[in-house]
Amino acid sequence: MDVEVTEEKENPLLERKEVVVRISHKGSATPTREDIRKKLSAKLSASDDRLVIGPLDQSYGAATAIAKVKIYKSKERALRVESPHVIRKNFPEVEAPKPALEKPAEVKKEVGEKGRT
């Protein structure tokens, strides 16, 4: 597997670097996120617990894929910024935060009564 960085951009607001990479692989199977993470951490000199790999875009029949990778300043920052489903894909050992619950019944009832005329 060969990894080539095609684009880099700093995002200071979210405390991360956004990188687009082209992944060339041999064989029919696309490399796993874990394999890609290990290769990228060595190439970009970043610890693999701070790398978040986005969707892998592939062309039919080609042995290449394009991935958007985010390199955070810390793992804690990555866990605060990313969506729970992205965290589950990239860090299966970490329990993703639960999505916000719906409003309590009292609040729903109060809002519903105020809205009626």
Give me the domain span that covers residue 12: 2-115
Give the model's pLDDT for residue 62: 84
Give the model's pLDDT for residue 29: 79
What CATH code is carried by the domain that includes residue 86?
3.30.70.330
Residues of the chain short of pLDDT 70, as ranges, are 96-117
Separation of alpha carbons 49 and 39, rounded Å = 13
- What are φ and ψ of residue 41, in 5° steps? -65, -35
Give the model's pLDDT for residue 30: 81
20 and 40 Cβ atoms separated by less than 8 Å: no
Separation of alpha carbons 102 and 114, rounded Å = 18
Q: What is the pLDDT of residues 58-85, one digit of tens each?
A: 888 888 999 999 999 998 898 899 988 8
Domain count, the chain: 1
